[in-house]
Amino acid sequence: MSPYLFVLVMEVGSALLRYRVQQSPQFQYHWKCKDLGLINLCFADDVLLFCKADIPSIKLLTETLSEFATFSGLKVNPSKSQIIFSRAVQQRQQLLDCVGFQEGSLPIKYLGIPLTSSRLTLADCRPLIDKVDTRLAGWNHQHLSYAGRLQLIKSVLSTLHMYWASVFILPKGVLKMLERKMRTFLWQGPSGGRQAKVAWDQICKPKAEGGLGLRSLIIMNQALILKQMWRVLQNDGSSIWVDWIQRYRLRHSTLWTFNRTTGSWCWKKMLKLRPILRRGAHYKVGDGSSFSLWQDVWHERGPLCLNFPRGIEVTGLPLSSTLSSVLQRNQWCWPAATDSDIAEIMSLLPRRILQQWTKSVGGATRVSSLYNQPFFSFSHRPHMFFGKGCFTENSRYQGTGLFFG
């Protein structure tokens, strides 16, 4: 079956699951999927199902899968299927008997990467390291010049980790190990006895600055994660993951003001990149109706609710207020107050709203060009690119992605 037909058939399966769930009052969602109505995730014929660990819910899912198999021919293979419980589930054996699957535990491998909420270890990343070793073992160094080895590093070795790095903040030890393998491959050649001629940090500089244009794997990893964080800021409804983060992680906060210590290890590591993201963010507020007055970082001091905590009480403007609530005819219109915090806020605001803040007309989202910006303060100063001209006129944040070059 062609991939496109496979996708179409699985869409029918997903629709059937949703229909059966809607018709059954006994079905109960997983407690962190209910608000989104999330039942399943599919990639080709790989399916993840979510529900509360009770017999009526699991029985409904298995019966629906059996019904789907009768007209599609796609049957569940019990020997390759697992059911994973949370720690609090008591009736595990009854549920296993109901579905006929084996009990599994996290981490499991899905689409080539481990699914885990805990810190990634060297053992978790071993498949990635082995993949690099396999490529290196397959190349005959004797027939490759420095230029040839450099090209293989650029086009092959430095891209093998990209999929992993788009999902996880990888351990620095793993990334340094991969860079060490690349460095050895570049300099030592077939004899294995030559020493590095130039420091790796210098090699990772852009060619215009005397480097070879290779990419730092650590900074590339950060760039790819920042792209995911940018999607959270945009919150345009195009991603289930973003919707889930907004509902179950941020809730009534924003990415800028979230300060709770709960969440997975990876989520906490992502939050530590917020200062870097903020340094590269440029704002086009439009008419202010889509910007939070208190929680977004339109002000040079950052979120007002953090820098001026008494502002909400003094002004009487609730946390849900938008920036447009203090704008009137292109002028600031704050409630009259003598509090020092409000006075400080006012002293830092321009007298008139910038022209780019006025209501504007939307345009087509398109990456027309890229411009170079020194984004990270590292010694070898690799460059990150922001999309220039890749946003609509009324975008909340000026930019839709982060790109390395």
For residue 169, CA distances in Å to 139, 208, 393 come to: 29, 29, 32
pLDDT of residue 340: 74
* C-alpha–C-alpha distance, residues 205 and 222, integer Å: 17
Question: What's the DSSP call for residue 288?
Answer: S
* C-alpha–C-alpha distance, residues 112 and 173, integer Å: 20
* C-alpha–C-alpha distance, residues 50 and 304, integer Å: 39
Order the strands of the 402-404 sheet from edge to edge: 369-373, 384-388, 402-404
Could you tell me which residues come within 8 angstroms of residue 172 by beta carbon, excluding any fewer than 6 positions away? 218
* C-alpha–C-alpha distance, residues 30 and 35, integer Å: 10
Q: Which one, of 17, 3, 22, 6, lies nearest residue 72 by Cα? A: 6
CB 331 within 8 A of CB 359: no
Burial 120-133 (b: 16+ CB within 10 A, else e): beeebbeebbebbe
Domain spans of the chain, in order of start: 3-105
Q: Which one, of 32, 88, 81, lies nearest residue 61 by Cα? A: 81
Match 């969602």 to its residue by tokens.
29
pLDDT of residue 380: 33
> From first to last of its 405 residues, what are the pLDDT tens digits of the chain?
567 888 888 999 999 999 999 999 999 999 999 999 999 998 877 899 999 999 999 999 999 999 999 988 889 998 889 999 988 888 899 999 988 899 998 888 888 889 888 889 999 999 999 999 999 988 866 678 888 899 999 999 999 999 999 999 999 999 999 999 999 888 876 555 566 678 888 888 888 888 898 989 998 898 889 888 888 988 878 889 999 999 999 988 888 888 877 788 889 999 999 988 887 776 666 677 878 888 888 877 788 888 888 778 778 888 888 888 888 777 778 877 666 777 777 777 765 554 344 333 333 322 222 223 344 433 333 333 333 333 333 344 443 333 333
Match 């570049």 to its residue by tokens.
186
Q: Which two tokens stand for residue 2?
A: 């062609």
Q: Are strands 331-332 and 369-373 parallel, antiparallel or unpaired?
A: unpaired
* C-alpha–C-alpha distance, residues 382 and 379, integer Å: 9
Q: Which two tokens stand for residue 313?
A: 């009480």
